[in-house]
Amino acid sequence: MRTEPLLAEADALLARGRAHNAERLLAPFVGREPENVGAWHRMARARLDLDDPAGALLAAQAAWHLDPYGAESLFWLSRSRSRLGDHAEAIAAAAAACREDPGNPRLHNRLAEAQLAAGLPTDAAEGLRCVVDLARYDADLHVTFGLALFAVGRPLSAREALGRALAIDFGHTGARAALKKFDRAMSTAIDAASLALAADEFAESLRIHPGQHGPRRPGPAREALGHVARVALVWFLAAIAGVGVLEATGLLTAPSSLYLSLFCAAGTAGCVSTLARPPR
């Protein structure tokens, strides 16, 4: 198989959240062509999406050994290290990537994420202060800047940063998730002392401790199950309402067992939908 079509297919699978399929596609390829740096990058991403940071680190290290000064190799090495709680190494790799490609906002964003995961929100906020002015078009960067600002006790500036992210990309899921986190954190802040405590707790929530892989992403099977359960719940509720209307108009006499079955089915669908929901 030619290299470019295979890597493009892996990219498409990863973009659709099918990391397992991407890993299965890439595994035999990197076995045949272990010198292909791009394939190792994608393998690292797939394994991170599958919540396998140790496997991702092996892939990232393979890429880094082949391309020790490549910004992309350093990026995936940093992400893998962060997920494993190896913060000094993660920050060093991200900083090296920024030196190799100083104009790339994605790399500065990775460095700030690594600093937040290490419990260094002040470093993250200071490091992004100038970068966000130069990369006003990058929504991800503004979201990370907002997280850092909130973690150092500047909630108004944090919301402004997220507002800029949403102005760039109105549907940005990271920005909207961050706003919900801000609201939860601020629900206990009534004065300066409680605001400082809320900021400290928020900063702690962003940290990744060694052995703690960080927020687990739901796999594609779990996402599909949740979607089916939500759709089924809507249909069961609609059926209950429809039977009720028909019975009220005299067009149908429904036995109580029908209602019981529909309510049980709706309850089951609701439970499955809740259990399949990604953790916050």
Kindly indicate whether the domain formed by 1-102 is annotated with CATH number 1.25.40.10.
Answer: yes
Q: What is the pLDDT of residues 61-81, one digit of tens each?
A: 999 999 999 999 999 999 999
Q: What is the pLDDT of residues 13-71, one digit of tens each?
A: 999 999 999 999 999 999 899 999 999 999 999 999 999 999 999 999 999 999 999 99
Structural fold of domain 119-210? 1.25.40
pTM for this one? 0.73
Q: What is the pLDDT of residues 65-122, one digit of tens each?
A: 999 999 999 999 999 999 999 999 999 999 999 999 999 999 999 999 999 999 999 9
Average pLDDT over the chain reads 86
Q: What is the pLDDT of residues 214-238, one digit of tens each?
A: 544 444 455 555 656 666 767 767 7
Tokens of 194: 């409680």
Q: How far apart are CA 261 and CA 10, in angstroms?
A: 44
